[in-house]
Amino acid sequence: MRVWILFVLCLAASARAAPAEEEAFVEELVTEEPVVEEPEVGANPVQIEVGEFDEAIEIVEDDAVENACLNHHCKKGKVCEVDESNTPMCVCQDPTTCPPAEAEFEHVCGTDNKTYDSSCHFFATKCAEGTKKGHKLHLDYVGPCKFIEPCVDSELHEFPLRMRDWLKNVLVTLYERDLDHNLLTEKQKLRVKKIYENEKRLQAGDHSLDLLAHDFKKNYNMYIFPVHWQFGQLDQHPADGYLTHSELSPLRAPLIPMEHCTTRFFEECDADSDNYIALEEWAACFGVKEQDIDKELVI
């Protein structure tokens, strides 16, 4: 979580340049996904630590001897139990067994406009409601529920200006801090190195929207790879060339409290309304020209 907060703060600083105070817009895009292996936290600066939003957790009992649940995975909101034949099975977790939140940032808001003490409490409640009701309840955003201002057209136009600049600066920061931490692959480093060493690069800062728009037009090529890179970081479960609601969650949920156009932006990125955002749709949302969309850059 600490890695994510560092970079969200970068976007928060840029958001102050907007003409109005921005809050969050309520709508949940999280859907359940098949259980998958967890990516290494830190490989992606927008990757939430295990247990926050990914709906797969590993249950490990202290008494590991002949424990059938030792390597049995359950979706978030469920725990492993064994039956009379020692066969592991996943059952809904009792919300009262979740550890209490230690800080306010651990609270989450559901699409029922109710604040839950933590993501553990939320997913346990969602599971306990059963399939019919549970599918109607989704996690909306990080933090306590609050009033969400609607996103007007003029604000929606401003959102990608800040987002593009933020993605570029995230990559540059990772490049500067990489050293032996393996935050970027060798191929990614080569791409970012060209951006980092470019004397025309706009340095990170609290820039006006006019300056951000001018820089995008003047130094357009510097923004092509960051947009592709972020798509690749999100397209993980599975890596199939499409972003689902669940895959967007690690980026979307923490942003909503600071950028109230987040939900509408991602909704409109799904141009054909099929609940999947293809690379072509993603790139178009950020202003990347059709001829510059390249699947080879999703590395």
* pLDDT tens digits, one per residue of 206-230: 999 999 999 999 999 999 999 999 9
Full-prediction pTM beyond 0.85?
no
133 and 237 together in one domain = no
Per-residue model confidence (pLDDT) at position 48: 38
Residue 141 to residue 115: CA distance in whole angstroms: 10
On average, the pLDDT of the chain sits at: 81
Say if 252 falls within a structural domain. Answer: yes
Range of the domain at 94: 78-142
> Can you read off the two tokens belonging to residue 173?
């920061």
Per-residue model confidence (pLDDT) at position 266: 94
pLDDT above 90 (res 53): no
161 and 235 together in one domain = yes
Residues 236-247 have a mean pLDDT of: 90
- Residue 62 burial (CB count, 10 A): 5
- 246 or 52: which carries more pLDDT confidence? 246
* pLDDT tens digits, one per residue of 247-291: 998 888 888 988 999 999 999 999 999 999 999 999 999 999 999
Say if 261 falls within a structural domain. Answer: yes
Residues 168-191 have a mean pLDDT of: 89
How many folded domains does the chain comprise? 2
Per-residue model confidence (pLDDT) at position 31: 44
Cross-strand partners of 75: 56
Say if 240 falls within a structural domain. Answer: yes
Omega of the bond prior to 238 within 30 degrees of 0, cis?
yes
Per-residue model confidence (pLDDT) at position 298: 95
pLDDT above 50 (res 77): yes
Residue 15 to residue 190: CA distance in whole angstroms: 29
Say if 292 falls within a structural domain. Answer: yes
pLDDT above 80 (res 19): no
The answer to whether the beta carbons of residues 207 and 165 sit under 8 Å apart is: yes
Residues 154-171 have a mean pLDDT of: 94
Residue 167 to residue 173: CA distance in whole angstroms: 10
Q: C-alpha distances in angstroms, 100 versus 37, 95, 149?
A: 27, 10, 30
CATH number reported for the structural domain that contains residue 129 in this entry: 3.30.60.30
Residues 179-204 have a mean pLDDT of: 90
Say if 280 falls within a structural domain. Answer: yes
220 and 111 together in one domain = no
DSSP E strands, 96-255: 108-110, 115-116, 139-142, 242-243
93 and 159 together in one domain = no
Residues 184-201 have a mean pLDDT of: 94
Identify the weakest region by mean pLDDT among 26-40, 102-116, 118-132, 275-289. 26-40
Q: What SS3 state is found at 192?
A: helix
234 and 160 together in one domain = yes
The answer to whether the beta carbons of residues 227 and 297 sit under 8 Å apart is: no
pLDDT above 50 (res 29): no
Residues 46-65 have a mean pLDDT of: 45
CATH number reported for the structural domain that contains residue 208 in this entry: 1.10.238.10
Report residue 24 CA to chain centroid gap: 15
Say if 68 falls within a structural domain. Answer: no
Which of 93, 114, 142 delimits the end of a domain?
A: 142
Per-residue model confidence (pLDDT) at position 241: 94
Could you tell me the pLDDT band of residue 22, with boundaries at 50, 70 and 90?
Answer: very low
118 and 173 together in one domain = no
- Closest residue by Cα to residue 14 from 283, 203, 279, 175: 203
- Closest residue by Cα to residue 162 from 299, 295, 1, 16: 16
pLDDT above 90 (res 135): no
224 and 179 together in one domain = yes
Say if 4 falls within a structural domain. Answer: no
